[in-house]
Amino acid sequence: MSLKTIKECNDRLASLGEKRQVFKSLKQAQATVEQVEKRVSAKALPAASVKAALKSVLSVRESLIAQISAEQAPRAKAELYGKLSASLLTEIGNEKDAAKKVELTREFMRAQKHEAYCLHAFAQTDPKAARAAKLLRLID
């Protein structure tokens, strides 16, 4: 352990959010610091895994949004909005918090609306291809 004085141990405890204590010996102080560090690291691991999972979900959504904004073709944009809607729908089903569920539902509705706008734009630019795509969607 790199802590050589009781003062350094108390400083380390304070940096970990613990109160400063009076120790009889350096060994006791070092043991206390070690226990507090283990406890803090054990608490930090689940929070880190939740944050990592949240980042992966957000990164998927953010990557889809970035792809949508970069895409020019209405048909491809509509497909990307469809993927975004599907991912939002699964998130809505997994969400427990009512406020977040409402926010995700609103985002889902916006994605559905934009998908419809893109499909309409696609139908206006190439009506025959739009009809063929619609028939293919009915078959699937």
Phi-psi map region of 126: left, alpha, beta (phi>0 left; psi -120 to 50 alpha):
beta
Q: What is the pLDDT along the chain (140 residues), one digit of tens a residue?
A: 578 888 888 888 888 888 888 888 889 888 898 988 888 887 765 655 656 665 666 678 888 888 888 888 888 899 999 999 999 998 898 888 899 999 999 999 999 999 999 988 888 888 888 788 778 777 86
pTM of the model: 0.55
List Cα–Cα distances, 75 to 7, 72, 97, in angstroms: 67, 9, 34
Output the pLDDT for position 56. Answer: 66
Domain ranges of the chain: 1-62, 71-139
